[in-house]
Amino acid sequence: MFCRQCGQQLVDEAVACPQCGVATGYFPQAVAQGKSRTNFILFGALLGLIGVPGVHNFYAGYSQKGLIQLLVSVLSCWLLWLPMYIWTIVEICTVTVDSDGKPMY
């Protein structure tokens, strides 16, 4: 592969040209992808169902939201568990990126 800017020959896995610094458009799998969306959904649905809402947010990196959901449930002696679980279900249906902005695969 060759650099689009300066024409220098590059290795196939190059992320940027070493001579001019222009990005090649190649992103390794570990860098391009975020966390597993399946795990995010399972953490939210299953652990939220048994009374531990918010764990899915810790997994995705949203620790403040996760702590709020968990503390509201625990400090209310699980009286507010159902609203926290509904909030969890809404999040697992709508959130598609982790806290770093990477899409969950």
Residue with tokens 């249906």: 93
Q: How many domains does the chain have?
A: 2
More reliable by pLDDT, 8 or 22: 8
Output Rg (C-alpha) for the chain, integer angstroms: 20
Mean pLDDT of the chain: 88
Give 30-77 pLDDT, tens digit per residue. Answer: 555 678 999 999 999 999 999 899 999 999 999 999 999 999 999 999
Q: Is residue 105 part of a domain?
A: no
Domain annotation covers residue 104: no
Q: Are residues 18 and 44 in the same domain?
A: no
Q: What is the predicted pLDDT for the residue at 45? A: 95
| Residue 7: inside a domain | yes
What lies within 8 Å, CB to CB, of 77 at 6+ separation is none
DSSP conformation letters of the chain: -B-TTT--B--TT-SB-TTT--B-S---HHHH--S-HHHHHHIIIIIHHTT-TTHHHHHHT-HHHHHHHHHHHHHTTTTTHHHHHHHHHHHHHH--B-TTSPBP-
Do 42 and 89 reside in the same domain of the chain?
Answer: yes
Residue 100 inside a domain? The answer is no
Expressed as residue numbers, the domain containing 6 is 1-27
